[in-house]
A and B are shown apart, each in its own frame.
Chain A
Amino acid sequence: MDIPARTGWIERVRLYPEIGAITMFLVIFGFFALLAPNFLSVSSLSGMLNLAAVVGTVAIGATVLMVAGEFDLSVGATMGLAAMAYIQLCNLGVPEVLALTATFVFAGGIGLLNAAIVLRAKVSSFIATLGTLMVGRSLLVLWTGGNVVRLDEAGWVTALIAGRIHDGGLRMMALWFVVLIVVFHLVMTRRRFGNAVYAVGGNPSAARTMGVQVERVKVAAFLITSWLAAFAGVMQLSRIGSINALTGQGFELQAIAAAVVGGALLTGGYGSVLGTLFGALVAGMVRNGLILMGFDSRLATGLIGLVLIIAVIINTRLRGEKG
């Protein structure tokens, strides 16, 4: 993005949707760093990254899709279904890499189904994916029989996805999350595909006249979202070693919350993968920080809700400065 030569700092700031999330992150980080004992320990900081990794991976997809002007509420079910597919294949003795590939093919199917319902049957993505969420969750209940389903043997792929990096508690999942953030940040800001996603979500008819294949871009965004959700599901499984029928429940809204704190607009065309990183970090930070300070842990969810609202107010104010 070109920055005009003579602009005030407010104009410059506005070009970065993630500025609200970064501000929020720094304020909360500073608060806990000063007041919460052990907050700056390696263990605590690793914990925050681990916490952000699963929901953050889902949230990257949510961000890309929201920028493209669509939602995917089915990601929570996709997480569970993908993890279940991976377990079943591994437990049958299928080599891990094949099982993982098949899991992604399966998750891609869910993404394509969502895209087909939205783009062909013209159902709004909010409703379409609410439907596939419910169908997916119900299939997972039947598939697992409601029981805890275990991965018989953790292999090198699960170690690669969520294994221990060092004794402080940092897991591979945190590393994968950071890698995915960097990759998608570059794709969204430096690649033609990223430009197309912003164009499609911002003004589809203008994008179409500029020669952007609107439908193709949206299908790709749905696919990316499902794949990232599937990866998050396998990530969670790799950490815990088992899933149940409710695995991934509620992640759809947590992911959207992280994307929104990160600066994404529900109306599309605006958002930032980098902002989502901070959006995902904030929730885990609040939860950990409160416990370290010795507060009742039951306050955390409410406080995260407040942070969500404040972050959005900051984001709106920043955008509202536009003349």
Chain B
Amino acid sequence: MSFHRTGVCLAGLLVFLALSGCRPAREEPAHAGAASQTYFVVTHGSAGNPFWAVVVRGAMDAGEALGVNVQYLGPDRFSIAEFVSLIDAAIAAQPQGIAVTITDPTAVAEPLQRAAAAGIPVVAINAADPAGRLPYLLYIGSDEYRAGYAGGQKMLEAGFSGSAVCATHEVGNLMHETRCRGFADALAEQGVEVVVLDITSDTVTAIEVFRSHFAAHPETGAVMTLGPDGMSSWRAFVDESGRRDVLHATFDLDPVTLDAVRDGITRFTIDQQQYLQGFQSVVTLYLKHNYELVPANDLFTGPFFVTPDNIEAIAALIEEGIR
């Protein structure tokens, strides 16, 4: 009786899973034996995060195009410990290659040495080792410091008065801290102070944090958010408070950001074309494994500025989840 019901629930769950987009069909592999090749993409980001979903799509599309298996691993919540154990899991599977975010260079050093010892090629994606000592083939991603710095310069060009805010929804994430540091350094050159604001990953809390900050510092003239979470909340804050006078820029692309750039609420967004990070990492590892081909330089996927001038050209791709 009780287990019968549980069984029905489980069966329903399986049907749901089967309907929700697992696509087992594959095209003919491009390389003999490719179908038995597996490549892992391991990041600190959950596949549920809008940003990482695009990386996953890029990696999966590359896997499908090449006829190889691609596995994505990422912790549900931001956790370095869990992330490192996922790298261990990937190494244990003895794949033909692993793409890893160097979210914390110290934490990933030991697993990467082990991968190197086991002869598994590794590429770094999204976040690189600042010291450049870790054993990976090359880095495929944006330069976060330069992205923040260039973003700051572009905001200064646009012009604003008062202080500025760098709003982070993942306190402690090295990538976010680096963006904020680049942003703050660019603004400091013109004597503009930058406050780092913890808006939390909860969107409603973020709105109220913005409200409190603007109540305490109404003279704030510019705000930088670091991704879709911050963007949605900033949009809601501006719609509610009418503070359209504040210069705003953000990172990454999603439908909400697209609308905000179109509506003039957001001056520009800094895209790191992360689909490339997923797609190119699989292609690079594939070429290394099958043909010993390795590019000589890192591959920078960003920063790419999306402004009202060029947004229409990529709008459809945002809806498809490719940009």
Closest to A173 in B: B204
- In the complex, chain A residues whose CB is within 8 Å of the CB of B196: 296-298
B212/A44 in contact, CB under 8 A:
yes
A38/B215 in contact, CB under 8 A:
yes
B204/A50 in contact, CB under 8 A:
yes
Closest to A299 in B: B198
A287/B208 in contact, CB under 8 A:
yes
Given contacts A121-B2, A249-B201, A301-B198, contact A244 B50 (CB under 8 A): yes
A146/B255 in contact, CB under 8 A:
no
**Cβ-defined partner of B49 (8 Å) among A245, A292, A296:** A245
Q: Is A207 an interface residue (CB 8 A)?
A: no
B5/A239 in contact, CB under 8 A:
no
User: Chain B, interface size: which category?
Assistant: 35 or more
B232/A51 in contact, CB under 8 A:
no
A292/B204 in contact, CB under 8 A:
no
B205/A41 in contact, CB under 8 A:
no
* Chain B nearest Cβ from A150, distance in angstroms: 6
A287 to B215, CA, bound (A): 13
A251 to B77, CA, bound (A): 13
B49/A146 in contact, CB under 8 A:
yes
* Chain A nearest Cβ from B28, distance in angstroms: 27
Q: Is A120 an interface residue (CB 8 A)?
A: yes
**Cβ-defined partner of A249 (8 Å) among B77, B171, B197, B208:** B77
Q: Is B101 an interface residue (CB 8 A)?
A: no
* Binding site secondary structure of chain A: helix
**Cβ-defined partner of A242 (8 Å) among B1, B213, B256:** B256
Closest to A289 in B: B212
At the interface with chain B, which of A13-21, A132-140, A209-217, A266-274?
A132-140
- In the complex, chain A residues whose CB is within 8 Å of the CB of B208: 47-48, 50-51, 284, 287-288
B2/A240 in contact, CB under 8 A:
no
B2/A143 in contact, CB under 8 A:
no
**Cβ-defined partner of B20 (8 Å) among A47, A142, A146, A244:** A142
B56/A47 in contact, CB under 8 A:
no
Interface residues of B in 194-243 (CB under 8 A from A): 196-205, 207-209, 211-213, 215-216, 228-229, 232-233, 235-236, 240-241
Closest to A244 in B: B50
Q: For the complex of A and B, list the 4 residue pairs with the smallest distance between their C-beta atoms, beginning with the closest.
A: A146-B53, A245-B48, A120-B2, A141-B48
- The chain B residues found within 8 Å of chain A, CB to CB, are 1-3, 5-6, 9, 13, 16-17, 20-21, 46-50, 52-54, 56, 76-77, 171, 196-205, 207-209, 211-213, 215-216, 228-229, 232-233, 235-236, 240-241, 254-256, 321
Listed A/B pairs (7) with beta-carbon separation below 8 Å? A38-B215, A150-B255, A169-B211, A240-B203, A284-B208, A287-B208, A300-B198
**Known contacts A246-B201, A291-B209, A293-B216; can you find 18 more A-B pairs with CB under 8 A?**
A38-B216, A43-B215, A44-B211, A44-B212, A116-B9, A121-B2, A141-B48, A142-B17, A146-B48, A146-B56, A147-B53, A148-B50, A150-B255, A150-B256, A240-B207, A240-B236, A288-B212, A297-B199
